[in-house]
Structure 1
Amino acid sequence: MRAGVGRADITPPIGIPAGGWGNQLHEISEGNDLELWATVLVVEGADGARAAIADVDLCILDDEQAERARSVIAEAADVPSDSVAVGTTHNHSVPVTLELGGAWIRRNRGLVAPYVESVFDAIARAAAEAAERLQPVRVGTARGSSPLAVNRRMTTADGKASVGLNPDGVSDPTLTVVRLDGGDDRPVATIVHYACHPIILGRDNTFVTPEYPGIVKRVVESAHGGHCLFMQGACGDVGPSELFVAELETYRRLGGMLGHEAAGVAHRAGWRAHRQRVRQGEESAWIASFEYEPDGEPDATVAVAAETAPLPLRDDLGDRRVWREQAQRWEEEAYAARGANAPEGEIRELTVRTKFARMRAERGDALDGLDAYPLLVHGIRLGPVALVGVPVELFSELGTTIRDSSPFATTLVCSYWNGYRNYLPTDAERERGGYETDISPFRPGSDAIATTAAGRVLEALR
C-alpha cells in the first residue's frame, strides 16, 4: 500500500460570523486561538486502486458542500469522487459556513462566502500535496479508552430531556488509533477515532478554535511525527465531561488529555508484531529462552463500497414557510431588544427562537417533496481497517452496534461524513424527546435501516 498526506490552513479572518450557539450574544469572532486545518489522506492499494479521506476542522458541510469537496479532492488527487470521504470534526467554535449556522447573524456576513471558497481551494491544495507524497506504508492499529465522553441527554427537574451531562447514559469510551507507517517505521499518517461532541467551549467563547480534536492532532504529531487526522464517531448523544465553558484553557487541557492518551495508544499501533515462544531444551535456571517469529506483510487492500439507504421522513415537521416567517419575526424582535439594551436573558431567548426556526425552515427546504432521505452509507477499507460513515449525527448505541457486528477487527464508525442531515437517534431515545429528537427528521425504525445498511457496506468491503 502507498499513502500520502497533505494539509492546508483554513483559519478564517478575524471578525467572521461565528454562530455555533443559538443562545450566544456575540455575532462575530474576536480572534483565532489556533489554526484550523484541512488534512487529506490519499491511499493506493497494491492493485493501484485509490481512495481519499479528508479531515476538516469545521462544524458542518452540508450535502452540496460535501459533494463539492469530494469533487475537488478527486480532481486534485486523481481519485474517483465516489472513493473520497469528507468528514468534519463538528467543532462548534468555528466560522459560519452555511445559513444553518448563522441564520440570525447580520454583522460581517460578506466574509462568509469568500471564506467558504477559500476552504475548497485549501482542500484541493491538500489533496494535490497528498497525491504527490505517496510512499509505501504498512497499517497497524490499537485500541485504548478515554473518560472524556459522557452521555449528554440529561433529565431536568421537570422530567424533560436537556443537553447537559448524564453520566449514567450510553457513551463509548473507545479510543482507536490507526497508523500508516513508512519505511522507517514512523507514521506517515495517524488516524485517531473517538466519539464526543466538541462542545467544551460554549456560548460565551468568542474565539475561533479547533476545539479538542485540534489539540489531539497536535499532541499526536508532536509525539510521533507525520500528520494526524481526527475522525469523529457516533457522538449524537455524547458530549465532553466539562462543557459550555468560556475559558480557552479548558479545551486545551481536555484536548491534551485525550491527545496524550491517543499518543500512548499509537505506540502500540505500529504494524510490526511478532509471536514469541519458549525455546525447548534451552531453559536455564529461573530464566526461559524465547524465539520470535515476525508477522508477515499486512494486508495492502484499498477498497470502497457504498449504499444509499432511504430513511423515511416524519410527517409532523411543520410548514417551512411558517417557520421562516416566525424566524424573521423573532430576528427583528431580537435586534430590537439588542438596540434597546434589553436584559441578556431576553436577547438570548429571542436568538434561540430565531435560530431554531431557521433550522426547521432549512430542514423543510432540503427535504421538500421527499418521502425519504437518501442516506449515503460510505465505506473505505485500508487493509485490515474499515471506515464507514454517514452524513448524520449517529447516537452512540448505533455506532457500537455497527462496530461490534463488523467483519473487520478494527472498524471506525464516523458521523458527519459526506454531508449533514441532523440527528439519527435510537427509537428508545426518541420516546424521551429533547433537542436531538425534535430536530431529527426521521421516522421510527430509521435506526435499524441505517445500521443494517452499514453492515452490508462492511460486508461488501470484506
Structure 2
Amino acid sequence: MFTRFRLLAALSLVVVSASAATSGGIRAGAFASDITPRTLPSPINGGMKGAFSSTVTDPMHARAFALQEGATEIIFCVVDACMIPREVCEAAKIIASKATGVPASHLLISATHSHSCATMVGVFQSDPDPAYVSSLPPRIAEALIKAHANLEPAEIAWGKDRDPSQVFNRRWFVKPEQSVENPFDAKTDRALMNPGYQNARVSAPAGPVDPEVSILAARARSDGRPLAVLANYSLHYVGGSPAISADYFGAFAGEIGRRLHATDARYAGKPAFVGIMSNGTSGNINNANFAGATPPRRAPGEQINAVARSVGDAALRAWDRLVWKASVPLAARETDLTLGVRKASAPELERARKLVETTPRDKDGQFSDRKAIYAREAILLDAFPASVPVKLQAHRIGGLTIAAIPCEVFVEIGLDLKASKPLEEHFTISLANGYNGYLPTPEHHRFGGYETWRARSSYLETEASTAITKQLKALLADVAR
C-alpha cells in the first residue's frame, strides 16, 4: 500500500539540515503540514454511523516539534485526526527517519481525537477513504522532516497550570434501583456514559478529572521569538462543527500563537511558530457538566473557540512562570507490549451473525439499531489475531517526562503516572503511534458502560491498563536515569 512513498522518501533525503553538525546546547524547530483531504466529500469519524463532509471549516494539520541536544533528537508530531492507524504512523516514521537520521523510536505521532476530522481508522460504520489513507504517510512525514530542518539554537522550558472549568467525568454511576441494557442483552452495567443533564437514574460521576494544562515550550536563542508550544490537556474533544474541523485542538494552536505575538511582522521570514495541543488521558472525560443545567444552544464552533480561549489562559499563565534552559538532557525509550484481544464466544458470535442477517438496514445501508452495530463489530473483531502489539514510549526533556499510549486512556491511568513521576513533571499523550481502542482500568471494566463494550473501539484484555502502566513506569524510570 505504501510503495508510492519510496520516491518521496528518496527525495526527502535532501532535506537533512545543517543541524547534523550540532552546536552546543538545545536546538528546536517546528513545522505544520496541511493534511486536509484533497477530495471531498470525505468520511468523518466519531459516530456510530458513517458520515461524510463536503466542506472544511478549518484545515487539518500535522504539527511537529523537534528537539535536539548533541547527538540525541526527539520529534513530537500531533495530527488532527480522530485516530491514526499504526501502519500510517510506522510508514511516516520510516520516511522521516531516513530523511533526518532520527531513529523511529524517537519519533512520536499522535492523534488529537477530533470527531470532525477525516476518517483514518475504521470504527463502527465509518470506513476511511483508502486513497486518503495512502496519501497520509508522506504528508505527515513532511512535518517531522521540516521541523528537523528548522532546528536552531534555542531555550526550552516546561510548566503547568490548571483549567478545571472545561473537564467533567462523562461516566456516571447508575443508581442501585435503576438498570440500563447494553447492546449484548445484559442489564449489569453500573456506569452510564453521557447520561444527559440532571438524569434522575444516575447518582454521581464514576471517576475524577485531571484539570492540569501542561506545556513544553521553545524560544529562539537569537531573538527570543517563540518557536513552539506543545500543550497537553485531558479533554476528549469539544465538537459542534458541522464540517471538517480540527476542533479545539486547532483553535488552541492559533490562539496561543496570537497571544504570544508569535506571528508579529517583526518575525517575517523566520520559520513560523507552531502551537500544538495533544490529548491527555481523556478516555472518560468530556466538556459537559451533566450535574448542571442544560446549556444554551451555541452557534457552530462557538464552544470550540470558548474552550480554546479558556485553556489558552492556563497555558499562558504557565508560560509566564517558565524557567528557560539552554541545555538539558534528552532521552527516549520504546517497546511493544503484547496484549490479548477480547473476542465473542461461539454462542455470542452466532447471535451476532443472526442479528446482522435479520436486522433491517437504513436507506444508507447502515444500521441504526445499536445491537446490530455491536454484532457487526463482534464479527469484524473475530478476524483479529488473538493478541496484538501495543507500542509504548517514554521521553525525557530535562526535568519533564512524557509517556505515549496508543489508546483512549482513562484519566485514572494518567493521574497514576503523574503521581509516580520520576522527575519534576510528567504528562501522557494518548492516541499515540497507533490505535488500540479505549483503555479503561480493570475496575471500570467491572462497572461496564460504553467504553468497555467489546468492539474495534474497545478490545484489549481487561487487565491491559495494569500491564501498560507497569511497563511505562519502568520506561520512565529508565529515561530519568
Q: Compute the TM-score of the two structures, normalised by the length of structure 2.
A: 0.78
2:242, 2:355 → 1: CA distance? 24
2:142, 2:162 → 1: CA distance? 34
Percent identity, aligned pairs only, is 22
Matches of residues 130-279 of structure 1 in structure 2 within 5 Å?
Answer: 130-146=147-163, 147-155=165-173, 158-160=178-180, 161-164=191-194, 169-183=207-221, 184-201=223-240, 206-224=242-260, 225=262, 226-241=273-288, 247-271=300-324
Which residue is equivalent to 1:82?
105
Matches of residues 47-446 of structure 1 in structure 2 within 5 Å?
Answer: 48-100=71-123, 102-103=125-126, 112-146=129-163, 147-155=165-173, 158-160=178-180, 161-164=191-194, 169-183=207-221, 184-201=223-240, 206-224=242-260, 225=262, 226-241=273-288, 247-271=300-324, 297=325, 299-314=327-342, 316=344, 325=353, 329=357, 333-336=360-363, 349-350=368-369, 352-353=370-371, 355-366=373-384, 368-370=385-387, 373-439=388-454, 440-446=458-464
2:133, 2:347 → 1: CA distance? 29
Deviation of the 1:435 alpha carbon: 0.9
Which residue is equivalent to 1:5?
30
- 1:306 counterpart letter in structure 2: E
Match of 2:472 among 451, 454, 462: 454
2:62, 2:347 → 1: CA distance? 37
- Do the aligned residues in 1 keep the contact of 2:242 with 2:300 (CA within 8 Å)? no
Deviation of the 1:234 alpha carbon: 0.9
Cα distance change, pair 408–64 in 1 and its aligned pair in 2 (3 A) = same
- Do the aligned residues in 2 keep the contact of 1:320 with 1:364 (CA within 8 Å)? no
Cα distance change, pair 262–358 in 1 and its aligned pair in 2 (3 A) = farther
Which residue is equivalent to 2:60?
36
SS at match of 1:197: coil
1:32, 1:361 → 2: CA distance? 34
Cα distance change, pair 361–438 in 1 and its aligned pair in 2 (3 A) = same
- Do the aligned residues in 2 keep the contact of 1:233 with 1:414 (CA within 8 Å)? yes
Deviation of the 1:383 alpha carbon: 2.3
List runs of 5+ in structure 1 lacking aligned partners: 272-296, 340-346
Which residue is equivalent to 2:23?
none
1:140-173 CA distance string (max 9 Å, x none): 1221111211111124573442221665731110
1:360, 1:222 → 2: CA distance? 47
Which residue is equivalent to 2:269?
none
2:345, 2:398 → 1: CA distance? 43
- 2:214 counterpart letter in structure 1: T
1:416, 1:84 → 2: CA distance? 14
1:335, 1:159 → 2: CA distance? 29
- 2:166 counterpart letter in structure 1: L
Query: Within the alignment, does 1:45 sit opposite 2:69 as a pair?
Result: yes
2:352, 2:206 → 1: CA distance? 38
Deviation of the 1:317 alpha carbon: 6.2
List runs of 5+ in structure 2 lacking aligned partners: 1-25, 181-190, 196-203, 263-272, 291-296
1:28, 1:447 → 2: CA distance? 34
- 1:116 counterpart letter in structure 2: V
* Matched residue count: 412
Deviation of the 1:179 alpha carbon: 0.9
Cα distance change, pair 42–433 in 1 and its aligned pair in 2 (3 A) = same
- 2:56 counterpart letter in structure 1: N
Backbone CA RMSD of aligned residues: 2.9
1:318, 1:240 → 2: CA distance? 39
- 1:217 counterpart letter in structure 2: A
Cα distance change, pair 79–353 in 1 and its aligned pair in 2 (3 A) = farther
1:355, 1:263 → 2: CA distance? 44
Cα distance change, pair 333–429 in 1 and its aligned pair in 2 (3 A) = same
1:87-130 CA distance string (max 9 Å, x none): 11011111122332644x7xxx7xx2222233222212222211
Cα distance change, pair 199–245 in 1 and its aligned pair in 2 (3 A) = farther
1:381, 1:91 → 2: CA distance? 27
Deviation of the 1:436 alpha carbon: 0.7
Which residue is equivalent to 1:21?
47
1:375, 1:208 → 2: CA distance? 29
1:405-461 CA distance string (max 9 Å, x none): 011212121111111111111122221101111233334433222111111011110
1:255, 1:159 → 2: CA distance? 37
Which residue is equivalent to 1:343?
none
- Do the aligned residues in 2 keep the contact of 1:200 with 1:242 (CA within 8 Å)? no
SS at match of 1:391: coil
- Do the aligned residues in 2 keep the contact of 1:34 with 1:210 (CA within 8 Å)? yes
2:379, 2:422 → 1: CA distance? 40
- Do the aligned residues in 1 keep the contact of 2:69 with 2:327 (CA within 8 Å)? no
Cα distance change, pair 16–315 in 1 and its aligned pair in 2 (3 A) = closer
